[in-house]
Chains A and B, each alone.
Chain A
């Protein structure tokens, strides 16, 4: 049965934490755990969610959960999965790592786990920078974004490199299941989590999770901006399953990229020329998606 707003569990597994108002990451973790249930064993590396959730004696996970080393989300999941399987437990091993923890420091361990085919779900909540340490550029910071380590000045207008494509990197391993999602389309995300929980082997889900303080948006706009990134075509909702790429939501017509960018403080400095570059890279990607994906 598919997950809907109506049948989503009322049980809470992540509460009483110190996440900022409007935090997209905590929304992703909270709702994914509702889908996975009380037998989920969660691994969270150093990062926002562990920083806000595990302050002894204020421990905020209602299910079994552990902080891993920054680089060690996937490798710790591997050990947990092996041990609990050996002991005959009924469980789901799930990791929640940020963009830096996934695409930068944790990519080696993640690649190792996919290579071994470990039976785990790895969820990357992507807020597009190292937000916990104060908005520094990560490998998933998009082109043009201003961060504290990619300031927008006269010479360089923010981050000059595009986002690493973690979804396709995961897929290139021949992973059983990978998906992209956003907290702006919550049921799409949660159904992907639910589907992942039924597939054996390694599963990777990449969910866009805006950070109001890092993105420079009002706390009330997290979900709206997380929808708009899909509506304007800068992010796409897709799956890689049984060796095939498939789009799970196709916008009929893209909304304005400029509107999406200009409402965020981190993109305020972009020129019309910069926005053109972003639009043209979006169009190129979608041309490929339409041609090659199901």
Chain B
């Protein structure tokens, strides 16, 4: 195992190299570009034996990936923001067609106004497209997810595409020391792609067909079931990953000091690390603070979140998203999960980082303070809080 100083994108590209996709189709968009640039170099120097296809749009990138997957080979694509939205039609198509494509999305703000910096409005707007969605917290996790995603996506009980999200710039372009597994280790973990969901010259297939009202519903439920099944497959893959690589992942969520936590921030993506540090600061003051970092938004970790908040007096959901006219989408999802508890836990939404605005350690401390205040009832803390900005709703 080698160790290198890599950006999130570079680490992800290393993970993809080890996963050996045979077709890579991508269209450039900031801040995704460096991952596909690295892959193009790997295709050139033959450290990755793949066909690198220069498509003319994101729509074609995913359409091409679907064709390649239907042709029976492992495929990869990557995008961000407007690119993700441009291929939106294909997102639904790829999941409905049950093509186990892996796509990296560099989380970036959506226009208008134009902005290339990171927030999570792009991928969170696509929660319903039927893809498994995972959010990396570090470059190491990004690399590991590149490998794990194929194992999960290609599992016969799942057969769904996976979108791996990396916070734009904050994760895609910052450097950290990353362990790179050997090809032998990777091959041991990830077998060659095998699928029945492909063209067959002995028994020709008609794929991606129409289904009227009589049958359509059943296909949708099968799709939903596959997503639910993926939760167990994710845990199983992580178990085997630990055995081979020695790094432990914890399923749909990562918990930080939640066991006895009374005040919990629930968040996702690379901001998790800052939240862990803030929790430690509060713990030094004798306040039982904890953090839940959601790793998978789909399938949604309803049971895991409910178990992790067992001692919570109040929770706050920190996200870089807003569904205009309502609230942050992660907040909506978390509140829905909390409904299944037999007691009411006050919950507050902290929206920050829109259009790449920095979220500072002091902002996170302020969030904990507001959560603590929030145990005194809704009058003390607003339900929706816009942090790090003078502009208020």
* Interface residue B67 (Cβ < 8 Å from any Cβ of A): yes
* Interface residue A79 (Cβ < 8 Å from any Cβ of B): yes
A39–B59 CA distance with the chains assembled, in angstroms: 27
Contact A56/B67 with A61-B204, A64-B204, A82-B23 known, Cβ cut-off 8 Å = no
Stretch from A85-93, A151-159, A214-222, A226-234 forming part of the interface with B: A85-93
* Interface residue A121 (Cβ < 8 Å from any Cβ of B): no
| CB pair B51 A82 closer than 8 Å | yes
Task: Say which residue of B22, B201, B209 sits within 8 Å of A86 (CB atoms).
Answer: B22
* Interface residue B215 (Cβ < 8 Å from any Cβ of A): yes
Task: Say which residue of A72, A74, A84, A115 sits within 8 Å of B71 (CB atoms).
Answer: A84
Stretch from A104-112, A204-212, A264-272 forming part of the interface with B: A104-112
Q: Which residue of A lies closest to B209 (CB)?
A: A54
A90–B199 CA distance with the chains assembled, in angstroms: 12
Task: Say which residue of A64, A75, A90 sits within 8 Å of B59 (CB atoms).
Answer: A75
0/1 interface trace, chain A 41-68, chain B, CB 8 Å (1 if under): 1010000001101111101111111111
* Interface residue B140 (Cβ < 8 Å from any Cβ of A): no
A181–B314 CA distance with the chains assembled, in angstroms: 71
Contact A56/B210 with A75-B63, A79-B63 known, Cβ cut-off 8 Å = yes
Residues in chain B near residue A63, CB distance under 8 A: 204
A275–B209 CA distance with the chains assembled, in angstroms: 43
A149–B69 CA distance with the chains assembled, in angstroms: 38
Q: Which residue of A lies closest to B22 (CB)?
A: A86
Task: Say which residue of A38, A39, A61, A74 sits within 8 Å of B206 (CB atoms).
Answer: A61
Q: Which residue of A lies closest to B219 (CB)?
A: A56
Chain A nearest CB: distance from B83 CB in Å?
A: 14
* Interface residue A179 (Cβ < 8 Å from any Cβ of B): no
| CB pair A76 B206 closer than 8 Å | no
8 A Cβ contacts from B44-64 to A? 51, 53-57, 59-61, 63-64
Residues in chain B near residue A79, CB distance under 8 A: 23, 25, 53, 63-71, 75
Output the residue of A38, A61, A69 with the most chain B CB within 10 A. Answer: A69
| CB pair B209 A83 closer than 8 Å | no
* Interface residue B379 (Cβ < 8 Å from any Cβ of A): no
* Interface residue B90 (Cβ < 8 Å from any Cβ of A): yes
Contact A75/B67 with A62-B204, A68-B208, A83-B22 known, Cβ cut-off 8 Å = yes
Interface size range on B against A: 35 or more
Output the residue of A72, A79, A86, A116 with the most chain B CB within 10 A. Answer: A79
A171–B51 CA distance with the chains assembled, in angstroms: 26
Residues in chain B near residue A39, CB distance under 8 A: 201
Q: Name B's interface SS.
A: mixed
| CB pair A76 B64 closer than 8 Å | yes
Output the residue of B23, B61, B71, B215 with the most chain A CB within 10 A. Answer: B71
Chain B nearest CB: distance from A109 CB in Å?
A: 5
Contact A54/B67 with A64-B199, A86-B22, A108-B57 known, Cβ cut-off 8 Å = no
* Interface residue A77 (Cβ < 8 Å from any Cβ of B): yes
Residues in chain B near residue A90, CB distance under 8 A: 201
| CB pair B67 A77 closer than 8 Å | yes
8 A Cβ contacts from A2-41 to B? 38-39, 41
* Interface residue B344 (Cβ < 8 Å from any Cβ of A): no
* Interface residue A257 (Cβ < 8 Å from any Cβ of B): no
Contact A67/B209 with A79-B65, A86-B73 known, Cβ cut-off 8 Å = yes
| CB pair B71 A68 closer than 8 Å | no
* Interface residue B205 (Cβ < 8 Å from any Cβ of A): yes
| CB pair B210 A55 closer than 8 Å | yes
Q: Which residue of B lies closest to A83 (CB)?
A: B71
Residues in chain A near residue B63, CB distance under 8 A: 68-69, 71-72, 75-76, 79, 109
Residues in chain B near residue A68, CB distance under 8 A: 63, 66-67, 208
A84–B73 CA distance with the chains assembled, in angstroms: 8
Contact A83/B210 with A78-B64, A109-B63 known, Cβ cut-off 8 Å = no
| CB pair B208 A83 closer than 8 Å | no
Output the residue of A38, A60, A78 with the most chain B CB within 10 A. Answer: A78
| CB pair A75 B70 closer than 8 Å | no
Contact A76/B67 with A61-B206, A83-B72 known, Cβ cut-off 8 Å = yes
Residues in chain A near residue B187, CB distance under 8 A: none
A86–B51 CA distance with the chains assembled, in angstroms: 8
| CB pair A115 B56 closer than 8 Å | yes
* Interface residue B207 (Cβ < 8 Å from any Cβ of A): yes
| CB pair B68 A83 closer than 8 Å | yes
| CB pair A76 B210 closer than 8 Å | no
| CB pair B206 A83 closer than 8 Å | no
Task: Say which residue of B75, B90, B209 sits within 8 Å of A55 (CB atoms).
Answer: B209
| CB pair A72 B210 closer than 8 Å | no
| CB pair A69 B93 closer than 8 Å | yes
* Interface residue A289 (Cβ < 8 Å from any Cβ of B): no
| CB pair B204 A50 closer than 8 Å | no
A73–B66 CA distance with the chains assembled, in angstroms: 11
Contact A72/B215 with A61-B206, A66-B70, A79-B67 known, Cβ cut-off 8 Å = no
* Interface residue A80 (Cβ < 8 Å from any Cβ of B): yes
| CB pair B66 A76 closer than 8 Å | yes
* Interface residue B286 (Cβ < 8 Å from any Cβ of A): no
What are 22 A-B contacts defined by CB distance under 8 Å?
Answer: A38-B201, A38-B204, A54-B206, A54-B210, A61-B204, A64-B204, A65-B204, A66-B206, A67-B208, A67-B210, A68-B63, A72-B59, A72-B90, A76-B63, A78-B55, A78-B67, A79-B69, A84-B199, A89-B201, A108-B56, A108-B57, A112-B57
- Kindly list the 4 A-B residue pairs having the minimum CB-CB distance in the complex, ordered from nearest: A83-B71, A79-B67, A112-B56, A72-B63
Given contacts A56-B209, A57-B215, A65-B206, 6 further A-B contacts (CB under 8 A): A64-B200, A69-B89, A74-B60, A79-B75, A86-B51, A116-B53
Q: Spell out B's residues near A (CB within 8 Å).
A: 22-23, 25, 51, 53-57, 59-61, 63-73, 75, 89-90, 93, 199-201, 204-212, 215
Q: Spell out A's residues near B (CB within 8 Å).
A: 38-39, 41, 43, 50-51, 53-57, 59-69, 71-72, 74-84, 86-87, 89-91, 108-109, 111-112, 115-116
